[in-house]
Amino acid sequence: MKEILRFAPIYQDRVWGGRVLESAFGRTLPADRPIGESWEMVDRPEAQSVVTAGALKGQTLRQVIEQHAAAVMGPKWPKEKPFPMLVKWLDCRERLSLQVHPPAKLAAELKGEPKTENWYIAHSTADAHLLVGLKKGVTKKQFEEAMANNTLETCIHHFRVAAGDSILVHSGQVHAIDAGNLILEIQQNSDTTYRVYDWGRVGLDGKPRQLHIEQSLKSIDWTDFEPAPVRGAPTSGVIADCDLFTISRVVLGAGERYTVAANEQPRILSVVSGKVRAGGEAASGTRTPFGQALGPGENALLPYAGGFTFTAETTSILLVTENFAG
């Protein structure tokens, strides 16, 4: 397994979604629908990424791992174990609900899955914000009182963001994404979300969306005050590091290269901006040009067994996710 794996996006209707994936990345979206999420890489019972090119074209990510676990994930990876990450683009035309994901110690009790995620801002409007964590000193009692009188926003930490900023959002951290953000979300493989508050909005069916008050109040970390984002900078470096994954930003000038060696670990390569061309490594160790180009918005899985070189055709920003295979 010495070729990069690229997958067909799975588009999700969301009441807060829009059509920015068309203008930002030149994609063709399902017509006349608010597309809030594009699931780029997923291995779940309800959603499976499908390979779009190469020797494994047409296979699901689950089939790929079942048949090539050692080559894709490494020699110790059980073939029945799901791919541990979920990669999404989020087009937030409107503000998302205020929500929380259950922490690992409570997830089973609440019949959910923990979810730690990282948000990288690819584009934003001039006044776009994120809401993450509590304002300093807010107590559970104050939070519940604010819920009752519809002033909950006053309890949540707000901050303005711009392209290049990012933040790691842990399970148990209350959060929402404000309108005007296009975000690459790289997360733990989970789809459990508890809505705390939805700003009085109705869903696509015209009815108020379900809230999960009891589960949310049990899940929120009441000691989490005013977390700080990682601000964008035109330099390479680690932007997120936790026990589930590490994400690095790689900035390349035209003609510069990024190389990963074979038989180290699987990685996820995400092109935030620019364009890179992929090459591989022959058995002799010499580099062989494959000629696959990855443009803005594309995500690829780099298997454990493959060695690759990516050459920037223009100034490019990549995110490289690693340390997720245990």
Q: Is the CA virtual torsion 50, 51, 52, 57 positive or negative?
A: negative
d(CA 215, CA 70): 38
Which residues does residue 11 pair with via DSSP β-bridges, in sequence order?
A: 38
Which residues does residue 270 pair with via DSSP β-bridges, in sequence order?
A: 299, 319
Q: Are 36 and 14 in contact (CB under 8 A)?
A: yes
Write out the catalytic residue numbers: 195
d(CA 169, CA 238): 15
Tokens of 11: 């588009």
d(CA 223, CA 259): 41
Supply φ then ψ for residue 151, to 5 degrees: -120, 25
Q: Which of 15, 9, 5, 1 has the alpha carbon at shortest distance from 179?
A: 15
Q: Are 319 and 164 in contact (CB under 8 A)?
A: no
- Residues, the chain, total? 326
